[in-house]
A and B are shown apart, each in its own frame.
Chain A
Amino acid sequence: MHISEGYLSASVLISGGALAAAGTAIGLKRLDYDQIAQAGILASAFFVASLVHVPIGPANVHLIMNGLLGLLLGWAAFPVILAALLLQAVFFQYGGITTLGVNTVIMAAPAVAVYFLFGRWIGRPGWVGMAAAFCGGAGAIVLAAIVMAASLFFTDEQFLSLAVTAVAIHVPILIIEGVITLFCVGFLKKVKPELLPHAFADKQTSRGVA
């Protein structure tokens, strides 16, 4: 999912950077004091997860974990992913400094999307909660593949075929991440339910208290 340096045109890089900056600003504003430790640990998990590789055909895909991150953090996924991607670029040479903005959007925008799509359901008991967690984890990968295809579209490749290929090669990752997200959310629900995004349920009360 990390687009390398020197691949995209300047306009794509700049718009990606602008979107990432906007998302990061919103995320930092929404990042609650109580969420910071959680954000840090999820950033570490995201940073390390990319080293877990599944070789498929010509390409080579790795875990991303943006779904779990988005489900638990919402908008705060933007600054967290930006920081983790910067470290990945510096330490592992994934992506690059100039493509940081685009890569942040590719992985963080789907994270925020699954938060709004499935976040309200993952706290539900039983089957609904589990399905929502799985869909959140897997859906973030699908969306990330589509956003990536969209950003590559502006260079030279065909959008539709590219998006289909991108999703297809990520199918194993999508299943693995769905399952990981399901287990993590299930575990949190048991031992620390208040860490799940309860913002949908009691947004008013928590705002009122703060």
Chain B
Amino acid sequence: MRVYASLRRIVLPVLWWGLLLLWALPAYGHRVMVFAWVEGATIHTESSFGGGSPVRGGTIEVYDDQAVKRLTGTTDDEGRFSFPIDFPVNGDLKVVVVAGMGHMGHWIVRAGEMAATSGNGTARPAAQTESGAETGVLDDAVGNGDGVAGPCLDAKTVERIVLQALETRLGPLEARLAAQNAPWRDIVAGIGYIFGLVGVATYVRYHRKEGR
């Protein structure tokens, strides 16, 4: 009875205030994320705190597959930093963002991405895709003429190439966004776990007291 009463009494102030504030402010995660994509011989990175605010003045470190630091840089006001791939790449690159106060995140740029796009600038971030990617493919196709596809690409082929490129690039990003957009489910699940722990603790303590 006393447990129930105390439960009721503290729910009011604590959760009430917590939820009130939670609704008043947008729910942002506090992890740091960096997303890197390859465009031609350049790697672009964009760093943000979960929820969208950019990491301003964060440090970007790039490591190769031997964990050797290749370069460092600083993000701008939009959390972006780009660098040319002017060193030999033998495997995946690891892009690490250090946002100070012990916050860091990383993103792996796969060797395949760099190989696939090094002569063929199809990849763009989601925001710039519509205008950018199409002309990019066309220009490259025209310029490269890599044996199969000549300058006489028809609309269908172009569309297929664009969609393919978009899919490979946006797939992981979409997965990330999906994971990010479900905080309520996580909150409820976490509180459920806590209730379970309370149950376990109550059970253990109850028996111990009875035993005495």
Q: Could you list which residues of chain A lie within 8 angstroms of chain B, going by C-beta atoms?
A: 2-8, 31-34, 36-45, 47-55, 57-60, 62-63, 65, 68, 83-84, 87-88, 91-94, 148, 151-152, 162, 165-166, 169, 176, 180, 183-184, 187-188, 191-192, 195
Task: Flag whether B209 is at the interface (Cβ < 8 A).
Answer: yes
Instruction: Knowing A183-B17, A188-B9, A191-B9, say if A53 contacts B26 (CB, 8 Å).
Output: yes
Contacts of B49 in A (CB 8 A): 55, 60
- In the complex formed, the residue of B with least CB distance to A69 is B14
| Alpha-carbon gap, A188 to B9, bound state (A) | 8
Task: Flag whether B147 is at the interface (Cβ < 8 A).
Answer: no
A134 to chain B, nearest CB (A): 15
Interface centre among A47, A48, A191, A195 (most CB of B within 10 A): A48
The listed residue (A36, A40, A54, A55) touching B205 by CB distance below 8 A is A36
Contacts of A162 in B (CB 8 A): 101
B30 close to A83 (CB less than 8 A): no
Q: Could you list which residues of chain B lie within 8 angstroms of chain A, going by C-beta atoms?
A: 2-7, 9-15, 17-19, 21-22, 25-32, 49-51, 53, 55-58, 98-106, 183, 186-187, 189-191, 193-195, 197-198, 201-202, 205-206, 209
A171 to chain B, nearest CB (A): 14
- In the complex formed, the residue of B with least CB distance to A180 is B17
B22 close to A58 (CB less than 8 A): no
Summarize A's interface: helix, strand, loop or mixed: helix
B52 to chain A, nearest CB (A): 10
The listed residue (A52, A55, A169, A183) touching B53 by CB distance below 8 A is A55
B99 close to A58 (CB less than 8 A): yes
Contacts of B106 in A (CB 8 A): 6
Contacts of A33 in B (CB 8 A): 202, 205-206, 209
Contacts of B29 in A (CB 8 A): 51, 92-94
B58 close to A38 (CB less than 8 A): no
The listed residue (A38, A51, A184, A191) touching B27 by CB distance below 8 A is A51
A103 to chain B, nearest CB (A): 9
A63 close to B21 (CB less than 8 A): yes
A56 to chain B, nearest CB (A): 10
Instruction: Knowing A53-B27, A91-B190, say if A59 contacts B201 (CB, 8 Å).
Output: no
